[in-house]
């Protein structure tokens, strides 16, 4: 009898573990679609908490080497770039002055100043400590979590544009899905022509701009920004630049390839947007989290706008 | 037990290292060290049952640190481990080339299964299949290139933790006419 049971131990273990994994997948899938979705269960949070300091230690030597390279060695052409940028700033300041004059003349500036407080979102600077452990998915781990005011659904950005969306948090860590991930979808518009479409990740280094109405004005070099209609990302955050427009082949919509505005290969510091917008409130249910007195002093309440 | 916890720690450390490595080498050019460890374990692990528990735990850990559904990588690693365990007993995977071809096949099938399971749970788009397949092909090539090194590392850990276990199974398999 013991021999018989021993011979069955492997099939029983196999069946039991497969069943456990399938049940976990189904449960996790429904959890992700749950409008009241909350933070990660404690046991998942513990692993995330342990992984963060370890990843910092493992990545430290390589980070130090790269920082040295960037700060001391890779400075060829900095003087020329500096001169070009100084010229560019002068041009932009001039253009900015003209726009301000035009706004003052039309009486819009005061109204914009009043609206500003409503639209500014507190942001939390966070450090990216690790990337996805699977090459088939694109997400990052950041070293700030629930204790710092981050909630699932918080957008993550840099000064260059959209990075992704927080999908899970533990007290001191958070997991964010990058816009490059195949599961990511962002409602977007072309900044120049306002043509609408959907930006999706392809799992590699590029983005797709799909479901654009046939005949809409999309050209190589166009800047694509968030439309704000998805209810997650605020309007006007930069997503990328059109590389080329693909031939629709008789389809009713056209598509384009985008170069992401964020250099994901050099992702170190990100900002997590902490305030939940009214549409997000509808999406995720419940009252938006009260952040007063909860945020650490390093939270930037009036951050520089990425766009 | 010592062997179990040693490889559990090794698997978790490899995962941390993989996560840090992905900052410098982007997919599909980054090897999947976790999957390579699963294959290495399947070819050397003495008992199927404990091996299944070990790869399941590593799979669940990978799911938590990844964007996949909880249980997705655990399930696929259990299947990969079982498949590789059986294949290790049926085929001669002693040389470098058989091993490289075997790891290429396992990685490619693993990638296709991830796509299909993501599609089943609505987390992937059917239209992306060609891009996925091409990326998956290159990823399988990279994994195959790294396979001998990771398997050699695993053999060293086996010898270091419990030299007897690895050699006993090897001798036992050779006596049975199988090969590892």
Give the C-alpha separation, A26 to B71, whole Å: 9
Give yes or no for B24 touching A (CB within 8 A): yes
Q: Do A47 and B78 make contact, defined as CB atoms within 8 angstroms?
A: no
What is the percentage of chain A residues whose pLDDT exceeds 90? 12
Could you say which residues from 261 to 280 on chain A have a Cβ atom under 8 Å away from some Cβ of chain B?
264-265, 267
Checking if the pLDDT of A71 tops 80, the result is no
Could you say which residues from 113 to 132 on chain A have a Cβ atom under 8 Å away from some Cβ of chain B?
128, 130-132
Positions of chain B with pLDDT under 70 = 123-128, 162-180
CB contact at 8 A, A159 and A306: yes
Q: Which of B32, B53, B131 sits opposite A13 (nearest CB)?
A: B53
Banded pLDDT at A206 (limits 50, 70, 90): confident
**Chain A environment of B22 (Cβ under 8 Å):** 130-133, 135
Checking if the pLDDT of A279 tops 60, the result is no
| E-state strands within A3-89 | none
Q: B interface mutation test: which of A20, A21, A60, A167 has the most B CBs within 10 A?
A: A21
Give yes or no for B119 touching A (CB within 8 A): no
Give yes or no for B124 touching A (CB within 8 A): yes
pLDDT digits (tens, 9 = 90+) for A163-205: 999 988 888 889 899 998 888 889 999 988 888 999 988 777 7
Q: Do B70 and A24 make contact, defined as CB atoms within 8 angstroms?
A: yes
Cα nearest neighbour of B62 on chain A: A133
Q: Do A29 and B121 make contact, defined as CB atoms within 8 angstroms?
A: yes
Q: Do B124 and A167 make contact, defined as CB atoms within 8 angstroms?
A: no
ipTM: 0.81
Could you say which residues from 129 to 168 on chain B have a Cβ atom under 8 Å away from some Cβ of chain A?
131-132, 135, 139
Banded pLDDT at A297 (limits 50, 70, 90): very low
Cα distances (angstroms) measured from residue A242 to each of A67, A138, A188, A223, B4: 30, 21, 12, 6, 50
By CB neighbour count within 10 A (0-12 exposed, 13-18 middle, 19+ buried), where does A120 fall? middle
Q: Which of A13, A25, A167 sits opposite B75 (nearest CB)?
A: A25
Give yes or no for A184 touching B (CB within 8 A): no
Give the C-alpha separation, B49 to B78, whole Å: 11
Q: Give CATH for domain B2-165.
A: 1.10.1760
**A84: part of which helix (H) or strand (E)?**
helix A78-106
Q: Do B26 and A139 make contact, defined as CB atoms within 8 angstroms?
A: no
| E-state strands within chain A | 123-131, 139-142, 155-158, 161-170, 173-178, 185-190, 196-201, 207-213, 223-226, 238-246, 253-260, 269-273
Banded pLDDT at A47 (limits 50, 70, 90): confident
Spell out the domain ranges in chain B. Answer: 2-165
Q: Give CATH for domain A38-75+120-307.
A: 2.40.10.340
**Chain A environment of B75 (Cβ under 8 Å):** 18, 21-22, 25
Average pLDDT, chain A: 77
Residue A269 CB contacts under 8 Å (≥ 6 apart), including other chains = A125, A126, A127, A128, A158
DSSP class of residue B23 equals T
Banded pLDDT at A38 (limits 50, 70, 90): low
Q: Do A20 and B71 make contact, defined as CB atoms within 8 angstroms?
A: yes
Per 3-state DSSP, chain B is made up of helix, strand and coil in percentages (nearest 5) of 80, 0, 20
Cα distances (angstroms) measured from residue A46 to each of A145, A171, A234, B4, B176: 12, 9, 31, 21, 44
Give the C-alpha separation, B58 to A116, whole Å: 48
Which of A48 and B150 is assigned the larger pLDDT?
A: B150
Q: Which of A9, A51, A135 sits opposite B16 (nearest CB)?
A: A51
């Amino acid at each position: 009898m013991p021999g018989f049971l021993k011979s069955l131990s492997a099939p029983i273990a196999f069946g039991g573990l497969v069943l456990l994994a399938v049940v976990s997948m189904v449960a996790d899938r429904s959890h992700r679609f749950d409008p009241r979705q909350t933070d990660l269960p404690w046991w998942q949070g513990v692993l995330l908490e342990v992984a963060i300091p370890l990843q910092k230690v493992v990545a430290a030597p390589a980070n130090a080497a790269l920082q040295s390279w960037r700060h001391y060695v890779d400075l060829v052409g900095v003087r020329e770039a500096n001169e070009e940028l100084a010229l560019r700033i002068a041009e932009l300041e001039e253009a900015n002055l003209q726009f301000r004059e035009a706004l003052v003349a039309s009486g819009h500036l005061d109204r914009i100043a009043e609206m500003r407080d409503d639209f500014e979102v507190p942001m939390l600077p966070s450090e990216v400590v690790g990337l996805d452990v699977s090459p088939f998915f694109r997400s990052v781990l950041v070293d700030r979590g629930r204790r710092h005011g981050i909630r699932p659904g918080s957008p993550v950005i840099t000064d260059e544009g959209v990075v992704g969306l927080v999908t899970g948090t533990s007290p001191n860590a958070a997991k964010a899905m990058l816009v490059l991930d195949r599961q990511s979808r962002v409602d977007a518009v072309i900044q120049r022509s306002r043509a609408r479409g959907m930006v999706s990740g392809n799992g590699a280094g590029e983005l797709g701009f799909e479901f654009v109405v046939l005949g809409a004005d999309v050209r190589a070099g166009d800047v694509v920004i968030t439309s704000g209609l998805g209810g997650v990302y605020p309007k006007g955050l930069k997503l990328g630049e059109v590389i080329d427009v693909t031939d629709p082949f008789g389809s009713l919509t056209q598509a384009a390839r985008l170069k992401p505005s964020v250099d994901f290969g050099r992702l170190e510091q990100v900002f997590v947007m902490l305030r939940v917008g009214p549409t997000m409130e509808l999406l995720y249910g419940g009252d938006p989290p009260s952040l007063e007195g909860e945020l650490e002093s390093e939270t930037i309440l009036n951050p520089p706008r990425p766009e | 037990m010592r062997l179990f916890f040693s490889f559990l720690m090794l698997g978790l450390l490899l995962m941390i290292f993989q996560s840090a490595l992905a900052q410098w080498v982007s997919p599909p050019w980054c090897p999947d060290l976790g999957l390579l460890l699963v294959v290495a374990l399947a070819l050397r692990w003495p008992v199927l049952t404990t091996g299944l528990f070990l790869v399941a735990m590593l799979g669940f850990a990978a799911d938590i640190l990844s964007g996949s559904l909880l249980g997705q990588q655990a399930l696929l690693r259990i299947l990969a481990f079982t498949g590789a365990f059986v294949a290790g007993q049926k085929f001669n995977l002693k040389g470098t080339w058989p091993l490289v071809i075997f790891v290429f096949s396992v990685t490619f099938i693993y990638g296709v299964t991830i796509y299909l399971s993501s599609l089943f749970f609505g987390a992937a788009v059917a239209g992306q299949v060609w891009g996925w397949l091409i990326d998956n092909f290159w990823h399988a090539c990279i994994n195959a290139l790294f396979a001998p090194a990771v398997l050699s590392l695993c053999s060293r850990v086996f010898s270091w933790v419990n030299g007897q276990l690895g050699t006993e199974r090897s001798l036992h398999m050779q006596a049975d006419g199988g090969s590892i």
